[in-house]
Amino acid sequence: MDARVIRFIPLAVAGGLLVPLLPAQSSVPQSYTLTSSSSLALEAMSGNPVEAKVSRFGPREFVDVTVAPQAGHSKAVHARHWFDLVAHKVYTLDVIQNTCSWMTYTAPDMPNMYDPIATPAPSAEELAKLNKNIVRRENVNGIAANLTESTSDQGKSRIWVAVNGNYPVKVEMTFPGAQPMVMLEVKELRFEKPAAALLAAPANCSAQAQGEWTAEGMHIHFETNIDAHGSGQVDLKTGKTTGDATVKSGGRRQ
């Protein structure tokens, strides 16, 4: 069983996004398809979890993201991302608006906000802590998993980790006085090569977004009269959450 703190800095102006600690594996598989429900993704900042369909083969991955509209909002969200570890680029298509752009991608593997199997390797200390929290074995959508639990003054976390492969298949958080929240759940997983056509980035997607996507998250640069910065994280081992935000008017670039 493995664990590592995953930090994500969200889009500027959007405010802080809490991203939990996910377990990690020592060797990431290179060919698979999966469907997951995630409250960690960029598109989930509106409050609704996303459905992410992931197709990976080696250094390339395609992610199709959809979000159901909330009450009072007429539009849903539908985005597609193509990640390329060789070209160090990520292409993003807004299917509804029919707009596409790309930015530099410098992370060493695929983003675990969509793809928990790509979670980076843990330290020996993180591995030991997670192993101490195993309470029993359960089945999550056909996947045998070890359930780990931890509690602190900040709340309770539960993480289900696949017995074969040590990848997270479900993450749940409960804050004091609130109902449990499922932050991530793998609905379906197949270790098979996806169709090659899915992995090819759009040929006409040439507009470059001003920013980059790193292992810490996405950083956007833009010209505006208001600069806003936000970040946040939560450690599911301790339940501790942190965040900060600042706003400055009259700026030109973030």
Predicted pLDDT at 122: 63
Predicted pLDDT at 47: 64
Q: How confident is the model at residue 37 (pLDDT cuts 50, 70, 90)?
A: very high
pLDDT in tens, 194-216: 999 999 999 889 999 888 998 87
CB atoms within 10 A of CB 143: 19
Q: Are 253 and 31 in contact (CB under 8 A)?
A: no
What pTM, to 2 d.p., does this model score?
0.74
* % of the chain surpassing 90 pLDDT: 40
Predicted pLDDT at 72: 66
Residue range 235-241: mean pLDDT, rounded: 41
Q: How confident is the model at residue 251 (pLDDT cuts 50, 70, 90)?
A: very low
How many angstroms separate the Cα of 119 from the Cα of each of 51, 65, 123, 135, 146? 18, 19, 13, 22, 17
pLDDT for residue 83 is more than 50: yes
DSSP 118-181: GPPPPPHHHHHHHHHTEEEEEEETTEEEEEEEEEETTEEEEEEEETTT--EEEEEEE-TTS--E
pLDDT for residue 246 is more than 60: no
Residue range 23-52: mean pLDDT, rounded: 80
| pLDDT winner (highest mean) among 43-57, 93-107, 164-178 | 93-107
Burial state string for 220-233 with b = 16 or more CB within 10 A and e = fewer than 16: beeeeeebbebbbb
pLDDT for residue 11 is more than 70: no
Across the chain, mean pLDDT equals 76
Predicted pLDDT at 115: 92
Instruction: Specify burial of residue 75 (Cβ count, 10 A radius: 0-12, 13-18, 19+).
Output: exposed
Token code pair at residue 123:
């330290």
Residue range 219-229: mean pLDDT, rounded: 45
